Amino acid sequence: MTGPSAEPSAPFVHTLPLTLTGRGEPLYASLALAAAPLDWLDANSEKFLHPDEAALVTDRLHARRRHGLLVGRYAAKRALAMLHPAIDPRALAIRPGVLEQPVLSGAGVRNLGVSLSHAGPVAVAVVFPEGCPMGIDLERVRADAVPLLLSQSPEAERRLAACLDGPEPERLMRLWCLKEALSKTLRCGLTVPLELLAVGSVEPHPTGLWAGFANFAQYRGLSLVAGDLAAALVLPQTVTLAPADWAAWQAALAEAAREWRE
């Protein structure tokens, strides 16, 4: 695990290994939270991008999109390095699939999936066995998003949000992130009626909330918020997640929220 760097222009990275049990077998996944300025990513992209990924990052892209592409792949490569420290990140490619979903390939990695999300200079990524599908999301909590979030939430979900702790923008964004993370797990994105992705139940977790989904009982999601960053990780309901240092993860999220703004 690494903490923040002393150099302000250097990247911030925090990683968390996850051990799960599914069908009696141990399953290994890893999470990474990363933040970096665009100029650092541009200057260092040759050290972590596969040539096919570098081809995606053309000068024609808007700086915001370029930043998202780069910091998302940087976070994903840091998560991959936890599972496969000996593999050169430049040998691994995350290409868009036909649904725009990230598809990982490269010698030495078999049956691994990746999900990622970026919010300005900050990104999160999870690398997981394909047999245990996961999805991740990260958003800034914004008061001005409340009307949109309310309009996109079914009545039952609005009632659920009203019962949560915290300010309204945070409560609604928690549920939104959970839905986006589910949509990535399912590979549909937000192209389906949003009621299908609705959160149906919540229960406390030491540093956040566990959520169940109204229409997808196969999955559950963990919601964590720190500062104005909300993150959600969705994984199958049928796997057991071993204890992990979520408090340190949340502290890193708080630091990223504080220090890494657009």
Ligand X SMILES: CC(C)(COP(=O)(O)OP(=O)(O)OC[C@H]1O[C@@H](n2cnc3c(N)ncnc32)[C@H](O)[C@@H]1OP(=O)(O)O)[C@@H](O)C(=O)NCCC(=O)NCCS
Residues near ligand X (CB under 6 A) are 68-69, 72, 99-102, 115-118, 137, 180, 183-184, 187, 189-191
Nearest residue to ligand X, scored by beta-carbon proximity: 189
Closest approach, Cβ 243 to ligand X, in A, equals: 27
Residue (8 or 189) nearer to ligand X, CB: 189
Q: Considering the complex, state which of residue 111 and residue 191 has its C-beta at the smaller distance from ligand X.
A: 191
- Nearer Cβ to ligand X, position 137 or 255? 137
Supply the minimum distance, in Å, between the C-beta of residue 146 and ligand X. Answer: 17
Q: Are 91 and 109 in contact (CB under 8 A)?
A: no
Find the shortest distance in angstroms from Cβ 235 to ligand X: 14
Q: In this complex, which beta carbon is closest to ligand X, that of residue 111 or of residue 240?
A: 111
Fill in the DSSP letter of residue 205: E
Pairs from 154-157 (Cβ < 8 Å, separation ≥ 24): 154/194, 154/195, 154/198, 156/198, 156/200, 156/214, 157/198, 157/199, 157/214
How many helices (H) and strands (E) would you count in the chain? 7, 12
For residues 47 and 100, is the Cβ–Cβ distance under 8 A?
no
Cα–Cα distance, 222 to 126 (Å, whole number): 13
Nearer to ligand X, 13 or 126 (CB): 126
Q: How far apart are CA 184 and CA 161, in angstroms?
A: 22
Residue closer to ligand X, measured from CB, 25 or 175: 175
Q: For 215, what's the count of Cα atoms within 13 Å in the CB-facing half-sphere? A: 14
At its nearest, how many Å lie between ligand X and the CB of residue 187?
4
Q: How near is the Cβ of 204 to ligand X at its closest, in Å?
A: 25
Q: Minimum distance from CB of 138 to ligand X (Å)? A: 6
CB of 258: closest distance to ligand X in angstroms? 20
- Strand segments, DSSP code E, in the chain are 12-22, 25-35, 93-96, 102-105, 112-119, 122-129, 135-140, 199-205, 208-213, 219-226, 229-236, 240-241
Q: Which two tokens stand for residue 193?
A: 């009626």
**Which neighbouring-strand residues pair with 224?**
231
Residue with smaller CB distance to ligand X, 19 or 114: 114
